[in-house]
C-alpha cells in the first residue's frame, strides 16, 4: 500500500519529535547540555520508543513503493495560508523529485537510529546533538516539499 505522508506525520513523526524535544529539554543542565543524570529510567525508555518510531517512520517513507501526500480531499495543516502548499501541490512536488523525497526520509530514519544508539549507550551528549539536528531534518524536507514557494 502507498504510504500516506500526512498520516505518517500526524500519527508518528510529529508527535514523536515533539515528545523527544519535551524529554530532552527537561534534561538540560546549567551549561545547556542534555544531562543523563537528569533523565529517569522511564524517560530513557520513552526515548528508545521515540527513536524506534522515528526510525520506522523514516524507513517507511523512504522505501514505500508509492507515496501519497494526503488522502483524497484532505487538507494540510497550513493549507490556505500564504506560502503554504495544498495536498495536490505537495503531491506534485514529491512526484517531481521522488529521489530527493526519499533522501529526506532516510535522514529521518538516520535521526531515529541515532537516538536509539544514543539511548542504548546512555549517551546524553549524543541526544543533545540529535535534538538540535532533528529540527533541521524536518525543516529541509518541509522547505523542499511543503513550502517550496517560499524559497523563490
State residue 125's pLDDT score.
93
Q: What are phi and psi of 94, to 5 degrees?
A: -65, -45
8 Å CB contact between 112 and 55: yes
How far apart (Å, rounded) are the C-alpha atoms in residues 137 and 152? 20
Taking the C-alpha atoms of residue 107 and residue 89, their distance in angstroms, rounded to an integer, is: 22
Grid-cell match 510529529, residue found? 14
pLDDT at 151: 58
Helices 87-96, 98-121: axis angle to 10 degrees equals 90
Q: What's the pLDDT at 77?
A: 81
For residue 78, the 8-state DSSP code is T
Between 124-145 and 98-121, two packed helices, what is the crossing angle to 10 degrees? 170
Predicted confidence (pLDDT) per residue in 43-87, tens digit: 999 999 999 999 999 999 999 999 999 998 888 887 877 777 889
Distance CA 116, CA 101 (A): 23
pLDDT, position 1 = 80
pLDDT of residue 4: 96
Smallest CA-to-CA distance from 13 within 49, 51, 57, 46 is with: 57
What pLDDT is recorded for position 150? 62
Three-state SS at 4 = strand
Regions in the chain scoring below 50 on pLDDT: 152
Q: Are 96 and 148 in contact (CB under 8 A)?
A: no
What pLDDT is stored for residue 146 in this prediction? 83
pTM: 0.91
Residue 132: per-residue pLDDT = 83
Amino acid at each position: 500500500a502507498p504510504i500516506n505522508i500526512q498520516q505518517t506525520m500526524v500519527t508518528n513523526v510529529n508527535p514523536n519529535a515533539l515528545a523527544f524535544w519535551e524529554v530532552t529539554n527537561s534534561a538540560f543542565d546549567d551549561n545547556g547540555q542534555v544531562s543523563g543524570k537528569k533523565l529517569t529510567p522511564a524517560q530513557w525508555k520513552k526515548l528508545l520508543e521515540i527513536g524506534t518510531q522515528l526510525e520506522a517512520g523514516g524507513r517507511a517513507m523512504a522505501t514505500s513503493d508509492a507515496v501519497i501526500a494526503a488522502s483524497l480531499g484532505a487538507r494540510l495543516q497550513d493549507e490556505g495560508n500564504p506560502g503554504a502548499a495544498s495536498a495536490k501541490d505537495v503531491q506534485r512536488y514529491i512526484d517531481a523529485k521522488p529521489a530527493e523525497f526519499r533522501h529526506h526520509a532516510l535522514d529521518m530514519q538516520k535521526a531515529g537510529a541515532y537516538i536509539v544508539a544514543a539511548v542504548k549507550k546512555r549517551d546524553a551528549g549524543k541526544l543533545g546533538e540529535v535534538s538540535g539536528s532533528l529540527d533541521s531534518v524536518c525543516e529541509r524536507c518541509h522547505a523542499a516539499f511543503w513550502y517550496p514557494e517560499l524559497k523563490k
